[in-house]
Chain A
Amino acid sequence: MAIRRGRGVAAINYPTGMNLGGDPTQALVHSTPTGNFMVTLSSVDLGQGMKQIMAQICAETIGVPTDRVVIDTADTDTGPHCMGTFASRGTHRAGNAVIQAAKEARQVMLEVAAEELEVNASDLETDGQGNIQVKGAPQKSISIFDVALSAHFKRGRSISGRGMFLIPRSYPEKETGAMKPSTCYAHACTVAEVEVDDETGEVTVLTVKNVFEIGRALNPKMVEQQLVGGSWMGISHALYETTEPYYPSRDHGGTDFNQYLMPGPGDLAETEIIVLERPSADGPFGAKGPGEMCANPQIPAVANAVFDAVGVRIDTLPITPERILRALKTQAAG
């Protein structure tokens, strides 16, 4: 009986969004009378930071500071349609819709500014600080605050835009069954090192090294946060969590947090995160969906590491001490 060490590797491809009956998200953008921009969405921020990302995308497209943008995700009854925040699709789908809406609003904004400055709209640019100026002659400028006031009270224009992003439904080919369920894939690879006690079946994860390829990281700190938390959750799925430990029987299933135990701050493995940015062809500013896939590769990596350590294949999750001991017993019986 001994503590045995093992190392496992796993790699995944993860689609951004889904495609059953087509996958649309719509967005509306309009300016307030004082030149702030409202983005109206039905997409919901679950805490993953969607409001921040949408504000960045809208601000970058219109050419204003991010704090001039307000994201309203208040009401799925009254807002423009969204399929929802799931399948890691929020940034990709809603972000593309916001870009389209913001482009249209920017065009109206430049037209109103052109009338005020008596120049062509195509000769104007934004300075990113809240002003519009003539290209090559920045002394000839007008604040977006004044442009919005003019649009509302003088010119009778609505500085607004409509955005729509749709991944059309993909039908399988009749002969081969081949289809295109997704247009955009994120990738990840994990190397996990574990120690397995072959007397108790307990697994200790020593290190987790992850590489994530997620397109352009629109907010690198938030991406890092998602990936660090996701890596931990992947370990938790691999080793600890289940509502039905003897599925399909409900026996011994946890019914509350007294029984459904999750790892705490004392159960952390040394974790490393490396982000590779390969901009996607159809994502907003090259983004893909890093949301859910960050908790995936750790699971097969840990299973492979357990095999490397003690030579048993556990193909049911979570990889509990009981499952390891039963497999070792079977292995010993030969």
Chain B
Amino acid sequence: MAKVPVQFTLNGSEKAEFVESGTTLLHALRDKIGDTSPKGGCHQGTCGACSVIIDGELRLSCLTLAETCGGADIRTTAGLAEGGVLHPLQRAFLDAFATQCGFCTPGMIMAAKVLLDRTPNPSREDVVEALSGNICRCTGYEPIIQAVLAAARANSQNAA
């Protein structure tokens, strides 16, 4: 089958790849481009581990075809740290012990980032709602909820 050219921006850098028609964005990111931060959990859109941000929207990369992402601005957890300094959400997840095996963590952080970008001071209910598409097997969720609330507090203190 003929391959399809795809160009998009990944964490601020231009990327160009030839992919087979029907290739998921998850597969293109992990196996073609080498960004393994989005995880393949269920490959059917139910676990949230593959979550990425496309043009500001939270998306499941396992259900997104790579060829539909031409010209898109794609953000993954691998692009959050700047100059070796962790993003406030990453720092908050570490401080709150909000990760154990770590497989769900990149998806959780993407979901939390979209929430905080839109709702800088979320309520607990807002956080629960934002994370409801993501499954975690280890933590029981409470440490993750606390981490997102802590990151929001840290952001608002920095802004003040």
Q: What is the interface of chain A, defined by CB distance below 8 A to chain B?
A: 46-49, 221-222, 224-226, 228-233, 256-258, 262, 264-266, 268, 271
A-side contacts of B132, CB under 8 Å:
264-266
Query: Which residue from B44, B47, B101, B141 sits with its C-beta under 8 Å from A46?
Result: B101
Q: Which B residues touch A231, using CB under 8 A?
A: 140
Q: A93 → chain B, closest Cβ, in Å? A: 21
Contact B141 A265 (CB under 8 A): yes
Are B140 and A264 in contact, with the CB atoms below 8 A? Answer: no
Q: A257-B44, A258-B46, A264-B132 are in contact. Are A225 and B100 (CB under 8 A)?
A: yes
> Given A257-B42, A265-B128, A224–B141 Cβ distance below 8 Å?
no
Contact of B145 among A46, A230, A256, A265 (CB under 8 A): A265
Please provide the 7 A-B residue pairs with the shortest distance between their CB atoms, ordered closest to farther: A47-B101, A232-B140, A257-B46, A265-B141, A229-B140, A257-B42, A225-B97
- A257 contact set on B, CB distance < 8 A: 41-42, 44, 46-47, 135
Chain B residues closer than 8 Å to A226, beta-carbon distance: 100
Known: A232-B140, A256-B44, A266-B132. 4 other contacts (CB 8 A): A228-B139, A229-B139, A232-B139, A265-B127
Question: Which residues of chain A come closer than 8 Å to B144, judged between CB atoms?
Answer: 265
Kindly provide the distance from the CB of A82 to the nearest chain B CB, expressed in whole angstroms: 19
Count of chain B residues near A, Cβ 8 A: 27
Q: Please, which residue of chain B has its CB at the minimum distance from the CB of A230?
A: B140
Query: At the interface, yes or no: B71 with Cβ under 8 Å from chain A?
Result: no
Q: Are A258 and B140 in contact (CB under 8 A)?
A: no
Most chain A CB neighbours (cut-off 10 Å) among B100, B129, B131, B136: B100
| Min CB gap A291→B, angstroms | 12
Max chain A C-beta neighbours (<10 A), residue from B44, B46, B127, B132: B46
If A232-B141, A257-B42, A258-B46 touch, does A266 touch B128 (CB 8 Å cutoff)? yes
B137 interface hit (Cβ, 8 Å): yes
B82 at the interface (CB under 8 A from A): no
Known contacts A224-B97, A262-B135, A264-B132; A271 and B142 CB within 8 A of each other:
yes
Tell me the chain B residues, 78-120 only, with Cβ under 8 Å from chain A.
97, 100-103
Interface Cβ pair total, 8 Å cutoff: 69
In the bound complex, residues from chain A placing their C-beta under 8 Å from that of B122 are: none
Within 8 A of A (CB), among B112-160: 127-129, 131-132, 134-145
- Complex Cα gap A175–B129 (Å): 60
Asked if A262 and B137 sit within 8 Å, CB to CB, the answer is yes
Q: By the criterion CB–CB under 8 Å, are B143 and A225 in contact?
A: yes
Query: Could you pull out 18 A-B pairs where Cβ atoms are within 8 angstroms?
Result: A47-B100, A47-B102, A47-B103, A47-B138, A48-B101, A222-B97, A225-B138, A228-B140, A232-B141, A257-B42, A262-B135, A264-B135, A265-B132, A265-B141, A266-B128, A266-B129, A268-B141, A271-B140
Interface residues of B in 5-28 (CB under 8 A from A): none
Q: Is the CB of A265 within 8 A of B131?
A: yes
Q: Which residues of B contact A222 (CB under 8 A)?
A: 97
Assess the B141–A258 pair: CB atoms within 8 A: no
Residues of A within 8 A of B97 (CB): 221-222, 224-225
Tell me how far the C-beta of A179 lies from the nearest C-beta in chain B, rounded to whole angstroms.
34
The minimal Cβ–Cβ distance linking B60 to chain A, given in whole angstroms, is 12
Q: Are B100 and A268 in contact (CB under 8 A)?
A: no
> How long is the Cα–Cα vector from A257 to B63 in the complex, in angstroms?
15
Residues of B within 8 A of A47 (CB): 100-103, 138
A47→B137 CA distance, assembly (Å): 11
Residue of A nearest to B133 (CB): A264
Smallest CB separation, B51 vs chain A (Å): 14
Min CB gap A137→B, angstroms? 41
Chain A residues with CB below 8 A from B138, complex form: 47, 225, 229
Chain B residue at smallest Cβ distance from A47 = B101
Q: How close is B116's CB to chain A, nearest CB, in angstroms?
A: 16
